[in-house]
Amino acid sequence: MRLILSFCFMAIVQVYRAQNVGVVPLPNSIQYNNGKLNIESVHTMALGKVPDGLVNLCSSLFHSQIKPNSVTCNLALDSKASISKEGYALSIGEKGINITARDLAGIFYAIQTLSQIIASSKENNSIPYLTIYDEPRYSYRGMHLDVSRHMFPVSAIKQYIDVMSQYKFNTLHWHLTDDQGWRIEIKKYPRLTEIGGYRDQTLIGNMQKSEREFDGIRYGGYYTQEEVKEIVAYAAARYITIIPEIEMPGHAEAAIAAYPHLACENNHGPFGTVQYFGVFENVFCAGKDETFTFLQDVLDEVMLLFPSRYIHIGGDECPKVKWETCPACQKRKKKQKLKDEHELQSYFVQRIEKYLNSKGRSIIGWDEILEGGLAPNATVMSWQGTKGGILAAKQRHDVIMTPVSHLYLDYLQSKSNEEPLAIGGHLPLSQVYSFNPTTAELSAEEQKHILGVQANIWTEYIDTPDKLFYMMLPRALAVSEIAWTNQSNKNYVDFSEKRLPNHLAQFDKNNIAYRVPTPFGAMDTTLLGSKFKLDFKPSVQGAKVYYTIDGYTPGTLNQTMTAPLEISVPSKSVREIKSIVITPSGRRSVVVTTILKNEE
Ligand code: TNX
């Protein structure tokens, strides 16, 4: 099947470029045929056991009534179809639309593809005849969301899930606990949210600033178990599994603020939900049995709420200084014959793994769980680059790649000082897109352990839903293409300039915040010469490029670049062209300054 698919694909790439239906992530094979289908007369029909939800979702794309000349959109669930898991076949032709998949997720993804095809050819209500065979490159396609540092209303989380599902993500990694706040109601331990759910104030600005200032505003809250259930069900209806993360043994200050007996024997605090960001020393005691009783109780409630096979147990950034002098930890070390504190952490993680395995669940941990020896069945989330992932795959452990170098969407999207406060770094869209999770360093057998990829959104400096979506979009669309589209089919210019503009126009229309890319063709740079022809294009469909040559910030009062701008620069002179994209809803890109210099 794969062979046939890739053969087809090679033959049709040319055609595809000519006739862009704008789907993101790019389907792995598209073949165009002559003709167009009018979608005003399409009526959806289920073949096989397709639930009403999917039938309704599909028919909502057409708004059609049954007319005598109606054609059908068939949704065929066929468990014997020679299509991969989550894959689908979609054909549009004279007689209507046929969607076939082996599982319901495949039908759901076909509907997402169809919806995007319709959105990209909306004006004339007709869509091109074509055949798509599509399947994901990876089985794990994740987005992460930290709700500890800042939390977001249930409605925003649902919107996050909506966007994810439109781009064929299937996993939400929900970071629910950390030093700055415990965000999930645990009935047996109410102080976790009463105390650990709140902090008295929050740092103003970036941690790197030399002087720390605080806002003096109490911050906090949590998700009730009812809300959690609602979100889990909402995601499941969109073929997204939520993996909860309960951080241990580090990043546990909020839990310890609530239950100080979980700290080491010789650690008497002070404890409190943390008001700034970083790595903190008050971690769960690895020596006391109470720690494990507590965590198992918490995990029992968590497992009742989250049916996912995986539970993420954190494992990252755990300072061991308290353990080094804690009598209970040292006793444990001796008794278990552990060489050092890394092995003590490994003991900790393995003990929790054993418990979760006994309940039919598997653990995921950040790559620090490699230190001191991996728990036997653990999946490793490789965040400090890909090294940890490669090491784990070589040890025949499953891996999810989420390197800080390419997939930390809390990092800045450009070097412009107009970017909002962020943690730092520099992670433009192109860099995200360039990531290839499966490295040649691994043998074919080892590569099978790379389950997929995930982008992380840590929220130290993200405190509103709009800022969350600004950081997410459009970079998450690049992540979706890494996760879904085969490496040989990826093409950055096609993605960013041909397909993305229409997707951004949809966000713009639907009032979803996103970062407006700078004008295509414009760069913060100095160009030498006397005659120039500047041809900057809007990065969002329907948007305009405005520019100035007087040094002022361009806006809607200025000239628009509708045709190439021809400009001569006199001898020994400089001209400064500032350009910006402004969208129909009024969203703006950062300003680009292009300096034209005539040195002659
Ligand atoms: C590292 S990634 C962390 C988080 C921070 C993040 C900020 C990881 C496992 N730990 O606690 O929020 O950097 O980018």
Mutation test residue for ligand 1: of 208, 280, 317, the one with most atoms within 8 Å of CB: 317
pLDDT computed for residue 65 by the predictor:
66
pLDDT computed for residue 12 by the predictor:
45
Selection from 415, 364, 455, 496 nearest residue 22 by Cα: 496
Spell out a b/e string for 193-209, using b for 16 or more CB atoms within 10 Å of the CB, else e.
bebbbbbeebbeeeeee
Indicate which residue's Cα is closest to atom 10 of ligand 1. Answer: 316
Ligand 1 centroid vs 251 CA: distance in angstroms? 10
pLDDT computed for residue 110 by the predictor:
98
Dist. CA 573–CA 600, nearest whole Å = 9
Give, for 531, the enclosing helix (H) or strand (E): strand 531-534
Ligand 1 centroid vs 514 CA: distance in angstroms? 23
Selection from 545, 454, 548 nearest residue 146 by Cα: 454
Question: Measured from the CB, is residue 466 less than 6 Å from ligand 1?
Answer: no
**What are the tens digits of pLDDT across the range 137-165?**
999 999 999 999 999 999 999 999 999 99
Q: Is the peptide bond before 319 cis (omega within 30 degrees of 0)?
A: no
What does the DSSP assignment read for 430-448? HHHHT--SS-TTS-HHHHT
Question: Measured from the CB, is residue 366 less than 6 Å from ligand 1?
Answer: yes
Q: What pTM was computed for the model?
A: 0.96
Dist. CA 42–CA 62, nearest whole Å = 6
Residuewise pLDDT in 10s, the chain (600 residues): 444 444 444 444 444 444 578 999 999 999 999 999 998 889 999 998 999 999 999 999 987 666 767 899 999 999 999 999 999 999 999 999 999 999 999 999 999 999 999 998 866 789 999 999 999 999 999 999 999 999 999 999 999 999 999 999 999 999 999 999 999 999 999 999 999 999 999 999 999 999 999 999 999 999 999 999 999 999 999 999 999 999 999 999 999 999 999 999 999 999 999 999 999 999 999 999 999 999 999 999 999 999 999 999 999 999 999 999 999 999 999 999 999 999 999 999 999 999 999 999 999 999 999 999 999 999 999 999 999 999 999 999 999 999 999 999 999 999 999 999 999 999 999 999 999 999 899 999 999 999 999 999 999 999 999 999 999 999 999 999 999 999 999 999 999 999 999 999 999 999 999 999 999 999 999 999 999 999 999 999 999 999 999 999 999 999 999 999 999 999 999 999 999 999 999 999 999 999 999 999
Question: Measured from the CB, is residue 408 less than 6 Å from ligand 1?
Answer: yes
Residue with tokens 């979608």: 39
Ligand 1 centroid vs 449 CA: distance in angstroms? 24
Cβ–Cβ < 8 Å for 299, 353 = no
Task: Count the helices and strands in the chain (H runs, E runs).
Answer: 19, 27
Question: Measured from the CB, is residue 410 less than 6 Å from ligand 1?
Answer: yes
Residue 71 CA: distances (Å) to CA of 40, 58, 96, 379, 553 = 10, 14, 5, 47, 53
Mutation test residue for ligand 1: of 316, 367, 404, the one with most atoms within 8 Å of CB: 316
Alpha-carbon dihedral 546, 548, 551, 554, rounded to 10 degrees: -20
Indicate which residue's Cα is closest to atom 13 of ligand 1. Answer: 458
φ/ψ (deg, to 5) at 551: 90, -10
Dist. CA 232–CA 245, nearest whole Å = 14
Angle (nearest 5°) at CA 294 between 293 and 296: 65
Indicate which residue's Cα is closest to atom 5 of ligand 1. Answer: 458
Question: Which ligand 1 atom is the nearest neighbour of the CA of 178?
Answer: 11
Mutation test residue for ligand 1: of 312, 401, 458, the one with most atoms within 8 Å of CB: 458
Question: Measured from the CB, is residue 383 less than 6 Å from ligand 1?
Answer: yes
Angle (nearest 5°) at CA 110 between 106 and 111: 120
Indicate which residue's Cα is closest to atom 6 of ligand 1. Answer: 458
Selection from 15, 18, 20, 42 nearest residue 31 by Cα: 15
Contacts of 509 (CB under 8 A, 6+ apart): 584, 585
**What are the tens digits of pLDDT across the range 165-175?**
999 999 999 99
Question: Measured from the CB, is residue 316 less than 6 Å from ligand 1?
Answer: yes
Question: Measured from the CB, is residue 247 less than 6 Å from ligand 1?
Answer: no
Question: Measured from the CB, is residue 423 less than 6 Å from ligand 1?
Answer: yes
Question: Measured from the CB, is residue 411 less than 6 Å from ligand 1?
Answer: no
φ/ψ (deg, to 5) at 244: -80, 145
φ/ψ (deg, to 5) at 293: -60, -45
Give, for 5, the enclosing helix (H) or strand (E): helix 2-18
Question: Which ligand 1 atom is the nearest neighbour of the CA of 149?
Answer: 12
Indicate which residue's Cα is closest to atom 12 of ligand 1. Answer: 458
Enumerate the H helices of 65-172 as residue ranges.
104-120, 154-166
Residue 379 CA: distances (Å) to CA of 81, 313, 333, 354, 364 = 31, 11, 25, 14, 5
Question: Which ligand 1 atom is the nearest neighbour of the CA of 459?
Answer: 12
Question: Which ligand 1 atom is the nearest neighbour of the CA of 458?
Answer: 12
Indicate which residue's Cα is closest to atom 2 of ligand 1. Answer: 383
Ligand 1 centroid vs 80 CA: distance in angstroms? 43
Ligand 1 centroid vs 366 CA: distance in angstroms? 10
Ligand 1 centroid vs 56 CA: distance in angstroms? 40
- Burial class of 68 by CB neighbour count within 10 A (0 to 12, 13 to 18, 19+): exposed
Ligand 1 centroid vs 433 CA: distance in angstroms? 21
The separation between the first and the last C-alpha atoms of the chain, rounded to the nearest angstrom, is 62
Selection from 339, 338, 135, 158 nearest residue 231 by Cα: 158
Neighbours of 245 (CB within 10 A): 27
What does the DSSP assignment read for 458-517? --TT--SHHHHHHHHTTHHHHHHHHHHS-GGG--HHIIIIIIHHHHHHHHHHTT---PPP
Question: Which ligand 1 atom is the nearest neighbour of the CA of 251?
Answer: 11
Question: Measured from the CB, is residue 185 less than 6 Å from ligand 1?
Answer: no
**CA dihedral for 437, 311, 245, 370, sign (positive or negative):** negative
Dist. CA 226–CA 229, nearest whole Å = 5
Question: Measured from the CB, is residue 461 less than 6 Å from ligand 1?
Answer: no
Selection from 142, 169, 144 nearest residue 157 by Cα: 144
Selection from 224, 238, 226 nearest residue 184 by Cα: 224
- DSSP single-letter state for residue 238: T
pLDDT computed for residue 21 by the predictor:
85
Ligand 1 centroid vs 277 CA: distance in angstroms? 10
Residue 374, SS3 per DSSP: coil
Q: Are strands 559-560 and 544-548 parallel, antiparallel or unpaired?
A: antiparallel
Dist. CA 266–CA 255, nearest whole Å = 17
Dist. CA 436–CA 427, nearest whole Å = 15
Dist. CA 164–CA 160, nearest whole Å = 6
Question: Which ligand 1 atom is the nearest neighbour of the CA of 317?
Answer: 10
Residue with tokens 């099947």: 1
The residues that are catalytic are 178, 251, 317
Ligand 1 centroid vs 178 CA: distance in angstroms? 10
pLDDT computed for residue 453 by the predictor:
98
Dist. CA 522–CA 541, nearest whole Å = 17
Question: Which ligand 1 atom is the nearest neighbour of the CA of 381?
Answer: 9
Ligand 1 centroid vs 404 CA: distance in angstroms? 9
Residue 335 CA: distances (Å) to CA of 293, 331, 349, 489, 573 = 19, 6, 17, 55, 78
